[in-house]
Amino acid sequence: MTITRRDTDAVRALQALEDGRSSVRLQAALAVGTTPDPRFVDKLVERCAVEPEFFVRDTLTWALTRHPVSLTIPELIRAVRSEHPQARSQALHTLSKIGDRQAWPAITRALLSDADDEVARSAWRAAVVLVPEGEESALAAVLATQLGRGERETQLSLSRALVALGEAMVPALRAATTGPDPRVRAHALATQRLLRDPDAGFEFAIEEAKRVVALDGSARRDDGTC
């Protein structure tokens, strides 16, 4: 069998993806994306699961988007079922960048409520990109179960995902504003504010929502309803 220069370059690029220097790994990922090759797909997905540097991971994702979806999507769907959180998170992130709705069945309720915040956030972003027409309300109902979760960054990610669904998320959000958990109510109210006014900052929206919830709680105690 004749080994071509292309074969040699491919081997070098794949080896460089595991180099100890992040700058070398970044250049390798750029090279792989610049010259797509089916032999790269498995290694790119595998590397996404363990790559520690954000910029390198993002370039690995870009490189995967340069390859045919017939090759990348099956590998990424396998990765979202991994026991390793980074593998799940990065695969979901890459699916959102590819944007092909044939991957929608992989976005399960378990991923949307994953115990790892980074995985859940990636799943929310992927879901609003991949959701088929007509299923937005059902997705909004699932996402609304996560209201009140996590710290500010996680809450902002969920609010953005819900806002991206537009009017389809209004019933689920409205129901959440009357729930028993003040943290959930505040998050739902802040998300409503962002839907009405996309330019409103989340910090302002959430603090305003907390005041509203606190005042509502005081009013309920005063009139004996709580």
- The string of pLDDT tens digits covering residues 20-61 is 899 999 999 999 999 899 989 999 999 999 999 999 999 999
Percent of the chain with pLDDT over 70: 83
Q: Where are the domains of the chain?
A: 9-130, 144-226
- The string of pLDDT tens digits covering residues 176-193 is 988 889 999 999 988 988
Give the torsion sign (CA, 162, 187, 183, 115).
positive
User: Is 50 exceeded by the pLDDT of residue 136?
Assistant: yes
Fold of 9-130: Leucine-rich Repeat Variant (1.25.10)
pLDDT of residue 14: 83
Query: Which residue do the tokens 């009017």 mark?
Result: 167
Give the CB-side neighbour count of residue 194, counting CA atoms within 13 A: 28
